[in-house]
Amino acid sequence: MLPKVIITGKHTDETIRRFSEVPGCRIVFAEGLQDIDPADFDDTEILLGGVSRELAEQMPRLRFVQLFSAGANGFSWLPERVVLANAYGAYGDSIAEHMLATTLMAMKRMPEYLKMQERQDWELLPDIERFDEMKVLSVGMGAIGTSYLRKASALGAECYGVRRTIHDQPDFVRRLVTTDDMDELLPEMDVVALSLPGTDEVAGMFDERRLRLMKPTAIILNVGRGNSIVTDDLVKVLQSGHLRAACLDVMDPEPLPKGHPLWTAPRTYITPHISGGYRAGVNYRRVMDVAVKNLCLVLEGKPPVHIVDRALGY
């Protein structure tokens, strides 16, 4: 009997057609994990879109899970027999564009001018920066951080990177270091951009000590996971007048509750975790391209691309 594949999520007619034309399997569509028919548990071998621990325990033949997200931490509990892959790279360019937009917004002091417009005031603000005067550090050199530095470099920035191990240094990166050597770079940087996975290793990485190592005029961005910055420390540092801006698409806690002091911390610009996702249609198409490719590879007995190392979480 052909292997059964369950695909979750709301999909376009074109995507449904593409999956339905994959040979050598039986496709079942379910809008959410809760919509999967228990009658399909016993013989499902492949699940596209995500999985819960409870569901995996009821699928004895499950052997491959394809995530539609790039983030993959939190799946260390999956049995060893189950191969896990993510959508690495599908969201990188869109998130990098968001990072570029927020960097420019803070550099050009656009939020202050918008408030000025609301007051119908006319004032010329000083200290406008340009990329060709900036040193930019990406902490995290996966698809997101690399794309951001490529775009910043094209605008004239001097680019630096931090990654877990030194390898694959792009030609537009002047220097690449590990986290052990990151502190010596922080005092020189005008922009520090975080695109880190949500692992224990990076939780609390940017505490008050590291935030104060940065220039008083530096901009910090975070599009990875909110817990890489200690929120209370960031509020304290901003309230003291240190840092030009904090541009946050992720934060801890998230969603940020009403009344939290981060909302009103000076020079803080918050977006509700929107830099990735499917709001840009190209992201959805890229994710589905990866999913279709990996489904075909697994059905052919070949290893999928972007296998997640569950010990690392990415």
Does the pLDDT of residue 311 top 80, yes or no? no
| Distance, C-alpha 247 to centroid of its chain | 14
Does the pLDDT of residue 245 top 80, yes or no? yes
Is residue 27 within 8 A of residue 70, CB to CB? The reply is no
Does the pLDDT of residue 147 top 80, yes or no? yes
Does the pLDDT of residue 203 top 80, yes or no? yes
Per-residue pLDDT reduced to its tens digit, 23-44: 999 999 999 999 999 999 999 9
Instruction: Please tell me what DSSP assigns to residue 206.
Output: B
Q: What pLDDT is attached to residue 293?
A: 97
Burial of 116 (0-12, 13-18, 19+ CB in 10 A): middle
The token duo for 265 is 């911390």
**Residue 275: band (very low, low, confident or very high) from pLDDT cuts 50, 70, 90:** very high
- What is the rounded CA–CA span in Å between residue 79 and residue 293? 23
State mean pLDDT over 188-202: 93
- What is the rounded CA–CA span in Å between residue 58 and residue 41? 6
Q: Residue 293: what residue type?
A: K
- Which residues in 236-272 are b (16+ Cβ under 10 Å) and which e? bbbeeebbbbbbbbbbbeeebeeeeebeebebbbbee
**Residue 74: band (very low, low, confident or very high) from pLDDT cuts 50, 70, 90:** confident
- The phi and psi torsions of 47 (rounded to 5 degrees) equal -130, 120
**Residue 200: band (very low, low, confident or very high) from pLDDT cuts 50, 70, 90:** confident
* Total-model pTM: 0.91
State mean pLDDT over 95-118: 96
Q: Is 301 helix (H, G, I), strand (E, B) or coil?
A: coil
State mean pLDDT over 124-128: 88
In order of their start, the domains of the chain are 4-90+280-299 (3.40.50.720), 92-270 (3.40.50.720)
Does the pLDDT of residue 313 top 80, yes or no? no
Is residue 221 within 8 A of residue 192, CB to CB? The reply is yes
Burial of 27 (0-12, 13-18, 19+ CB in 10 A): middle
Q: What pLDDT is attached to residue 10?
A: 94
Q: What pLDDT is attached to residue 237?
A: 98
